[in-house]
Amino acid sequence: MEFSRELRDKVSAGSITVSFRLWQRPQVRVGGIYALRDVHIQVDAIDVIPFYGISDADVRRAGERDRESLRRRAAHAGPISDDTVLYRVEFHVV
């Protein structure tokens, strides 16, 4: 999985543990281990969720200050409305 430059250190430190992706199909698998700079992350869960269903806690776990920041970051792959379905990827550093 790729992360924005400004998020990579937080992912490596373990303070970001969830990511939201606008994918056509999953690009990772549960249990998969993926390299990220000097650490590896392991995917714990993959779910689909409409944007409006993302909790405030998950916005923070994704490293964003608010829901609109998350929308802007995830929208690099296309526009995101409240009804847009995203992949929620939960992971941890191994």
What pLDDT sits at residue 75?
Answer: 87
Task: CATH number of the domain at 49, please.
Answer: 3.10.400.10
Torsion of Cα atoms, 11 then 14 then 18 then 20, to 10°: 0
pTM above 0.75, yes or no: yes
Domains: count for the chain:
1
Strand partners, 47: 88
Range of the domain at 43: 5-93
- Cα(51)–Cα(11) distance, integer angstroms: 22
Nearest to 6 by CA among 88, 55, 85, 64: 64
Residue recorded with tokens 């776990």: 61
- Residue-level pLDDT, tens digit, the chain, 94 residues: 889 889 999 999 999 999 999 999 999 999 999 999 889 999 999 999 999 999 999 999 999 999 999 999 988 878 999 999 999 999 999 9
pLDDT at 76: 80
Instruction: Give the model's pLDDT for residue 37.
Output: 82
